[in-house]
Chain A
Amino acid sequence: MDHNPPSLLATQRPHVMRLTVPPVIELVRPVRLAVGGLASTGDFTIESVEELQLAANELLVVLMTVAGDAELELQLELDELGAFRMEAAARRPTGTVDDELIAVSERILSVMADEFRLEIEQDLASGGFVRHPDTWSDEDVDRVDTID
């Protein structure tokens, strides 16, 4: 039996915050606060920080609902170019897929993030988003990799 499985979100990038979050809805707010704290060290306005917190909240709520009893792995990062990235995943999700909730959350993510993904499969539920700094030009945006 594998007691110490490899991370679902392995990355070689430095300055990445990694969190393991049990499926407890009261922990959504602390994650929002962590997102706000990290984003506020970057090149984002107060309004953009709030929008990032909302995007993170939606990703977390959807994955927590789908995850059921499964823990979530999270990664939060201000990358080398200043973009905010969040990735989240739950292994072997046991919860419910609420299509109405997912539709609303996807709508919110599409507005609050520059890119997002949400993938719900039998063995893995995962998602992520990227938001570029407010000061970026279109040229800056073109330099950035898309999310995996």
Chain B
Amino acid sequence: MAAEHGTQFVVDSVEGASDVHISATGELDVATAPKLEEAIIGAVRMGKGVSLDLSGIDFLDSTGLRAVLGGLRRARAAEVHFSLDQTSPAVDRLLRVTGLVGEF
């Protein structure tokens, strides 16, 4: 399953036995964050955990970060697994700046 926003952002979801592996590439910002949010919500609604791969993200802003944090909150509320397995320098930078390193 893939969702595209122009040529800048792609979300792929691969369903496993207990988790959905969601990978996103491109620029995760105010215009593209809803696509990632939608993928995470879809996984949690199926009762699945989420393993997130953001290694392909080359731009992340506060709204993209909020989508990830929103996913974490939803997963915790549904008592399913949520992990941020892979990051990129852009993701690491924002986690560092906002003091959220280690939150996931």
Contacts and interface: CB of A to CB of B under 8 A. Distances in A.
Interface string A8-36: 00000000000000000110110010000
A54 B63 CA distance: 12
Given A61-B61, A108-B94, A108-B97, A101 B29 contact: no
B62 A28 contact: no
Given A104-B98, A107-B97, A111-B97, A29 B27 contact: yes
A29 B61 contact: no
Given A107-B98, A111-B97, A101 B62 contact: yes
Interface in A76-100: 100
B73 interface: no
Interface residues of B, number: 17
B89 to A, nearest CB: 9
A57 B61 contact: yes
Nearest to A54: B61
Nearest to A27: B31
B61 A101 contact: no
Contacts of A54: 59, 61, 93-94
Contacts of B98: 104, 107-108
A58 B97 contact: no
A105 interface: yes
B76 interface: no
A105 B90 CA distance: 16
Interface in A88-133: 100-101, 104-105, 107-108, 111-112
9 contacts: A28-B31, A29-B29, A50-B90, A54-B61, A57-B59, A61-B62, A100-B66, A101-B62, A107-B97
Given A25-B30, A101-B66, 18 more contacts: A26-B31, A29-B29, A53-B59, A54-B61, A57-B29, A57-B59, A57-B61, A58-B61, A58-B62, A61-B61, A61-B63, A104-B62, A107-B97, A107-B98, A107-B99, A108-B97, A111-B97, A112-B97
Interface of B: 8, 27, 29-31, 59, 61-63, 65-66, 90, 93-94, 97-99
